[in-house]
Chain A
Amino acid sequence: MGSRIRIIGLRATALHGGAALAALAQPRAPLSPTNIFAPVSTPSQWIIELSRLVLMVTGAIFIVVFTLLAYAVVKFRKRRASDVREPAQVYGSTQLELAWTVIPILIVVVLFLATARVIADIQGAVRPSNAIEVTVIGHQFWWEYRYPSLKVVTANELHIPVSDPTHPTPTFLTLLSADTDHSFWVPRLAGKTDLIPNHPNLMWVDPHETGLYLGQCAQYCGTQHAMMLLRVYVQTRDEFNRWIQQQSRPAQFNGAVSEGQRIFERTACINCHAVAGTAANGTFGPDLTHLMSRDTIASGAVTNTPENLRRWIQDPGVIKPGCKMPAMGLSGPEVNALTQFLETLH
């Protein structure tokens, strides 16, 4: 009886362990939402396939050389203090030296060819006619997204459609910078590519699963480089189309918040921000036309709640010290009215 219970227990443990392993291997529950080993898009998948080869080869080299080193350290240690004889002096061996020159050269050739092929595949990918095109513009310290053919401008939260591997609809990103260098890195979608002023770059992703994918700026760009977070929403084609439709509408207004709108248009807000359908057409800061359709503000630094929005307007430096948006020195009631106005921008 006892042994039977133990066997069941063992099996349960094994199942449990198996489930834990499966959870680790499952891309939906990775160790980290930014784990490079949980790819969901072709460029990342190709990179990880290449990395397996590289890791295997380097791992094998490590085991061989480490074993030799450990063996030498143990085997050839000085055993007796009294032993003063010098060991046999060996000055070299042409055969051995030739061996550990030629074998590494062969390994390098293999790794080089495998790498060159993946570079050519990723960088040489042809853009299909149905690809989504997005222009990504890096700013200190936020992301601007423009969909030139769809007439949509948004900030900080990129929406793209899922790509069915049988009928791929990849997204091609043109990377620009308005100021300093930045880098676009969403590890589960693709490797990073820099955004450099005067130097347009191109990258592509074709996510195979819907979901929210995180990342952040990966090239130091100034004080708030750390809070220049990336959020990519991969949606079904229908959801994506609905989002595009909603984003292409001008802002909706409500007479009850005209006080807030007046403050918005009167204060320096409009020098930097745009709200379609109002006098505000600044381009230095994020477009706010559909601010409330976003989950976060301040480039992902905090969630988009009325309280956070209020704190942000009152003094952006509290949430993101060193960011470019100034505190406008508004009174409490003014901040409330302004917040109420912004909350109507769905």
Chain B
Amino acid sequence: MAAESIALPPSDASPPPLVERLHQWVTTVDHKRLGIMYIIYALIFLIVGGVEATIMRIQLIRPHNDFVSPQVFNRMFTMHGTTMIFFVAMPILFGFANYLIPLMIGARDMAFPRLNAFSFWMTAFGGLLLYFSFLGGDGLYGAGNAPDVGWFAYAPLTAQTFSRGHSTDFWILSLLVSGVGSIGVAINIVATVLCMRCRGMTLGKMPLLPWLNLVMAGLVILAVSPLTAAQLMLLVDRYLGGHFFDTQAGGSAVMWMHFFWVFGHPEVYILVLPAFAFASEIIPVFSRKAIFGYPIMVAATIAIGFISMSVWAHHMFTVGMSAPGNTFFVLTTMAIAVPTGIKIFNWLATMWGGQIHFRTPMLFCIAFLFQFLIAGLTGIMLGSAPFDWHLGNSYFVIAHFHYVIVGGILFTLFGAFYYWFPKMSGRMYNETLGKLHFWLFFIGFHLTFDFMHVPGLLGMPRRIYTYEPGRGWDIWNLIVTIGVFFQAAGVLVFIGNLLWSLRRGPVSGSDPWDAWTLEWSTTSPPPAYNFASLPQVRSRRPLWDLKHPDDPDWQYE
């Protein structure tokens, strides 16, 4: 085991100057530094995307409000969606994968460190390109300064006829560039997990986090490629006279929908599998029990990966597919509930009979279980195609997917932040502030997204910058907007806690949670080489074996 780092002679040299430290970060190929850069980058965009959401919610606080113009509102929902998916959720999950996978499989770095750095910078510049549209997107005819085509940019709204100037071009290019970065990360994760595991760690003894990220990376390769292809086709349409999606010249708007959603639905699982991964690490440690049913958890993950490639057209129940087409996608959509349900029951069974410690990471994971349950059930409602003919594109579907992405993914992400913060920084966060963050965010989340289902059931479509009074929507929209401020307060507490703990938090030591996976066997923060000597494992919980030599896991696995 590699429980200690190599002792270096104490150095009394003062830390290098700021420029030099910056240079070290910018030129780094270290998976841990790149991981942290992904996370910080995504946190900045989380705040930007949150501000955009807040602007929309203030506009919708009452009917016929004129806080922003329709043009600005349409830009806000386009930028909010694009930012949150491509420049918050994906990079932040890539960041954690980057940081954690080599540590958890006992490797010194990712398989391709330089590709890793290249991928990060592609993603980073992709995000900057998107936001440069505020300055550079003006283009001809004063046609707007940021894309306003919606985050799934349905054709033909993106054709030159309807989207003049360059704002849509910035949207296309930023996704194209960041897509290259995403594929680079995915290739790296697959290679790392398959080739870099330490001695003794067969695939069957690998922790669940690398497993889930392996499947996620496979999905990225399969799903981001068609999106990238579609962006190129759209550029051909816009500048080289192509007619793929140009309906005025015989192109097909429906084909864009298929291209987008054959990316867009696996994308949901690209985001949620790493969230499952966090839950699968945090819940066992704070329940003090091994994960329940490891083989079936892996099998369910692979099943989700496969089925998720065949459900995309449930986003298209209203576009006039044939009855057999609709029926097929109902079947696949409902089928994916089975492996997902297995996971929820297995997490419950992990907690069952355990000793649950209500530390901040666990609170977020318990809330995740509760919220993801609801998100899954509303997903079944939406998967029932005729019901979707009402619910699709209404505020119900907005509430549903925010339940997945915020209630599921962001909650486990916050859990992951608190759980691995001591490892990344070497310091403990403030537990009281952590719990305050949890409760503020929990209350705000439920105020916003529970009540957001109702206007959808009452006929309120998405993407409207204002609405008529007398539809019975007013009170619900007011409550939804109030919830946003609780969430914002929670995020402020979170950032305050991070900044305070980075400087003042008590030193955490290498294993503050009495946990069982390899990353806790090295120092906090880990040295650049991760482990003084590469570890060797005999079970899925090498540190359990070390701490309980009388009752090691490998006797049972």
A residues with CB within 8 A of B: 30-37, 44, 46-47, 50-51, 54-55, 57-58, 61-62, 65-66, 68-69, 72-73, 76-78, 83, 86-93, 96-97, 100-101, 104-105, 108, 111-112, 114-116, 118-120, 122-124, 140, 175, 179-181, 183, 185, 187, 190-194, 196-199, 201-202, 214-227, 229, 321-322
Contact = CB atoms under 8 A, between A and B. Distances in A.
Contacts of A192: 318, 389-390, 392-393
B73 to A, nearest CB: 8
Nearest to A122: B386
A191 B319 CA distance: 12
Nearest to B144: A223
Q: Which 8 A-B pairs have CB atoms at the shortest separation, nearest pair first?
A: A191-B389, A34-B459, A32-B472, A226-B464, A201-B320, A197-B247, A92-B293, A32-B458
Contacts of B394: 218
Interface string B263-287: 0000000000000000000000001
Given A87-B289, A194-B320, A62 B374 contact: yes
A80 to B, nearest CB: 10
A202 to B, nearest CB: 7
B55 interface: no
A196 B465 contact: no
B342 A97 contact: yes
B156 A180 contact: yes
B457 A199 contact: no
B156 A199 contact: no
B446 to A, nearest CB: 14
A104 B342 CA distance: 9
A78 B319 contact: no
B495 interface: no
15 contacts: A32-B473, A50-B386, A62-B377, A77-B356, A90-B289, A91-B293, A92-B292, A92-B294, A105-B338, A179-B161, A181-B253, A183-B461, A185-B390, A196-B247, A218-B393
A219 B296 CA distance: 40
Contact of B380 (A46, A111, A140, A191): A111
B475 to A, nearest CB: 11
Nearest to A103: B341
B483 to A, nearest CB: 21
B342 A193 contact: no
Contacts of A91: 290, 292-294, 556-557
Nearest to A300: B468
B386 A72 contact: no
B335 interface: yes
Interface stretch (B39-47, B130-138, B323-331): B323-331
Which of under 10, 10 to 19, 20 to 34, or 35 or more describes the interface residues of B? 35 or more
A96 B349 contact: yes
B248 interface: yes
Contacts of B71: 223, 321-322
Given A91-B290, A190-B389, A223-B74, A179 B162 contact: yes
Contacts of B465: 225-226
A198 B247 contact: yes
A119 B385 contact: yes
A104 B69 contact: no
A35 B341 contact: no
B353 A90 contact: yes
Contacts of B388: 191
Nearest to A65: B373
A196 B319 CA distance: 8
A112 B326 contact: no
Best-surrounded residue of A44, A83, A89 (most CB of chain B within 10 A): A89
Contacts of B338: 101, 104-105, 108
